[in-house]
Structure 1
Amino acid sequence: MGAVASFFGGLCGGEKVKEEERFLRANDRPFNLSFNYADNSIKTSKYNIFTFLPLNLFEQLQRLANVYFCFLFVLQLIPQVSSLSWFTTAVPLSLVLGITAVKDAADDINRHKSDRQVNNREVDVLLNGDIKKEKWKNVKVGDIIKLENNDFVTADLVLLSSSEPLNLVYVETAELDGETNLKVRQALTVTGELGENIESLTAFNGEVRCEPPNNRLDKFKGTLTYSGQSYALDNDKVLLRGCTLRNTEWCYGIVIFGGADTKLMQNSGKSVFKRTSVDHLMNVLVLCIFGFLAFMCTVMAIGNAIWESRDGSSFVVFLPYEQGASSQLSSFLSFWSYVIVLNTVVPISLYVRYN
């Protein structure tokens, strides 16, 4: 079928097409850009200045206790059922939501700073027959880049050549798998002959066909076609983003996956609202307590209805019904009044301490 590019539809909400095979050509940016592959910028932050308030509020309302207190606040705004002032719930609830929002905002600001720092790192890129400094975020799929000893690997690369005998390189993969011992990678002999000759590297027009972006750190399958010959590529021919070059003076590689498509970012996943086991336990407890509260209020509302039907008429002189009211309506309103009166079965002060 050939390579199926990964791309986004128009502004009307087109869906991303699933990539089945990656196809790229070295030193040919216009060709590679036609596939709309992800660039090498990363984004680990969850919010921006416009989405922070609605998204953060939505995430906080995933805690049932917050929904419970918001529901009480709405009830307290109804004069017919509320015997307490609305601010008795609004003030502590705002405090709980506000403190959590400030903490989440501080965490996300740090993520933005980290993203900017990483995206603005510089690396040597072969462009138009010359080695130039480029920011990581501007590196594209198909670019040939140069790494030196102790450099972080910019993107997922197919190794082309190195300064070591037999075209070996040594990398530290602690950020990927936690292992501090050095791993060995080796370039193909046919590309190792390119060395660091800029003219040879500029003339290199090899084509790579490989698997689509995935999170498998220990597997890679692909082929390099060069000068009419095809050569198999495996995990030993690839340098992954997150690795650090060690004990190797220099090496060259061609970018195959950038940014969000790299195996490192594929494994990191999307930043989501953290839900700990304590969160789940709190949700279960709040649900059980609310069920018990509803049971108590139902029993008392039924008692109110019985009392209204038997003895309530005797007190009409002192407590007259409002126009159009009835014992059934009084019992219904009483149910919600009892919910407000007994709301302390879930004390918001305990939830403030938990947060």
Structure 2
Amino acid sequence: MSFFGLDYAKKKESELERKLRANDREYNLSFKYATNAIKTSKYNTFNFLPLNLFEQFQRIANAYFLILLLLQVIPAISSLSWFTTVVPLVLVLSVTAVKDATDDINRHRSDNQVNNRKVTVLIDGELRSEKWMDVHVGDIIKLGNNQFVTADLLLLSSSEPLNIVYIETAELDGETNLKVKQAVMVTGDMGDNIHNLALFSGEVSCEPPNSRLDRFTGTLTNAGQKYSLDNDKILLRGCTLRNTEWCFGLVLFGGPETKLMQNCGKTTFKRTSIDRLMNVLVLCIFGFLAFMCTILAIGNRIWEQLWGSEFTAFLPRQGGVDTPFSGFLTFWSYVIILNTVVPISLY
């Protein structure tokens, strides 16, 4: 939901009922409903590097080698060049970043293609061709045979007897058999009369955006009369109109608020079962490494105390470093020396 900002997220959380009026953009815009534009990509030019690095360092091995790199720049404990860690780490991060960037560029292209599809919208008493992303809640749109449903719509009328339509929902539930939807009789009588459709000012009160594909509850109020609405009168985004010459629909939910997008969820950092298993393995290996380094540091402490003074001619001690602190530094020195216990090439 970051595409629409924090205000939209807060509004959406507090929305308990959706209210809209047909052919009245000014009224509907006052509720600040989402437009029909979608965004499935994760990054943009400005946040790609910090966000991608943050996600990559959630892998424990990457975080381990970053800490190791920081240790290697401390002369008091490092006996190896920092190049031995930074080169493979940068290589692993770069390859993963290029892969993630390529995937996200493809998402941007897909979003752009969908958002710029054309649909016929009834505006100011005439039918106009508009982009999908410019469609708003409360607009009346016309769909043709084999055309994708632009947003979540209340079916108003159709070319078929009894104002029924046939839709294919393969993109929603994987089912290829056609389903039948039927308009409310009071709106079905308008047919394809543009004048009557343009004068239609019915008000809809319905449930807020949600991910339930098989349920819908709402009420249509027109000329003082109320009509119950259910799932059989709703066309969902992602469906395809079949065996129906034309139909008109009233936009109830657009873009990220449609049931299709509500079920898609937010695009997240891909984490496979292998990634999770490797995190556990790296933690176990790091625990083993810490145990070995602790034993070696304790052994160094004992050796320094008992026999170290006899070898000062060969192993001079650093001035100002006492024996206990020397053992602490030795622990981290062994961490650096034995860093290949966790192989970065594994990734």
- The answer to whether residue 316 in structure 2 is matched with residue 310 in structure 1 is no
Q: 2:185 aligns with which of 184, 189, 193?
A: 189
- The answer to whether residue 120 in structure 2 is matched with residue 144 in structure 1 is no
Q: 1:10 & 1:216 partners in 2: Cα distance?
A: 24
Show the counterpart of 1:346. Answer: 342
Cα deviation per residue 1:201-222 (whole Å; 9 max; x = unaligned)? 0000000000000000000000
1:131-170 to structure 2, matched below 5 A, reads 131-170=127-166
- The answer to whether residue 37 in structure 2 is matched with residue 41 in structure 1 is yes
Query: Cα distance, 1:326 vs. partner?
Result: 1.3
Show the counterpart of 1:4. Answer: none
1:242-261 to structure 2, matched below 5 A, reads 242-261=238-257
Secondary structure in 2 aligned to 1:43? Answer: coil
Report the AA paired with residue 246 of structure 2: W
Q: 2:270 & 2:232 partners in 1: Cα distance?
A: 36
Change (3 A) 1:17 1:53: same
Counting matched residue pairs gives 344
1:148/1:250 contact within 8 Å kept: yes
1:273-352 to structure 2, matched below 5 A, reads 273-351=269-347
Cα deviation per residue 1:110-142 (whole Å; 9 max; x = unaligned)? 000000000000100000000001100000000
Cα deviation per residue 1:223-258 (whole Å; 9 max; x = unaligned)? 100111000000000000000000000000000000
Secondary structure in 1 aligned to 2:14? Answer: coil
CA RMSD in angstroms, aligned pairs only = 1.5
Q: 1:98 aligns with which of 91, 94, 98?
A: 94
Q: 1:64 aligns with which of 60, 63, 69?
A: 60
1:146/1:252 contact within 8 Å kept: yes
1:129/1:198 contact within 8 Å kept: yes
Show the counterpart of 1:204. Answer: 200
Report the AA paired with residue 104 of structure 2: D
- The answer to whether residue 73 in structure 2 is matched with residue 77 in structure 1 is yes
Query: Cα distance, 1:15 vs. partner?
Result: 6.8
Q: 2:178 & 2:302 partners in 1: Cα distance?
A: 80
Report the AA paired with residue 232 of structure 1: S
Q: 2:343 & 2:13 partners in 1: Cα distance?
A: 49
Change (3 A) 1:76 1:9: closer
Report the AA paired with residue 268 of structure 1: C
Secondary structure in 2 aligned to 1:252? Answer: strand
Secondary structure in 2 aligned to 1:23? Answer: strand
Q: 1:32 & 1:138 partners in 2: Cα distance?
A: 14
Q: 1:268 & 1:350 partners in 2: Cα distance?
A: 32
Q: 2:178 & 2:285 partners in 1: Cα distance?
A: 55
Change (3 A) 1:14 1:143: closer
TM-score between the two structures when normalised by the length of structure 1: 0.95
Change (3 A) 1:15 1:193: closer
Show the counterpart of 1:110. Answer: 106
* Structure 1: 4+ residue segments shifted above 3 A: 7-11, 13-17
Secondary structure in 1 aligned to 2:127? Answer: strand
Secondary structure in 2 aligned to 1:79? Answer: coil
Change (3 A) 1:125 1:50: same
Cα deviation per residue 1:303-333 (whole Å; 9 max; x = unaligned)? 0000001111112233222221111121111
Unaligned residue ranges in structure 2 (runs of 5+): none
Cα deviation per residue 1:268-313 (whole Å; 9 max; x = unaligned)? 0000011111111100000000000000000000000000011111
Q: 1:168 & 1:10 partners in 2: Cα distance?
A: 39
Cα deviation per residue 1:32-64 (whole Å; 9 max; x = unaligned)? 000000000000000000000000000001110
TM-score between the two structures when normalised by the length of structure 2: 0.97
Query: Cα distance, 1:347 vs. partner?
Result: 1.2
Q: 2:128 & 2:345 partners in 1: Cα distance?
A: 59
State, as a whole percentage, how many aligned pairs show the same letter. Answer: 71
Q: 1:78 & 1:160 partners in 2: Cα distance?
A: 72
Q: 1:30 & 1:350 partners in 2: Cα distance?
A: 58
Secondary structure in 2 aligned to 1:111? Answer: helix
1:40/1:136 contact within 8 Å kept: yes
Show the counterpart of 1:271. Answer: 267
Show the counterpart of 1:19. Answer: 15
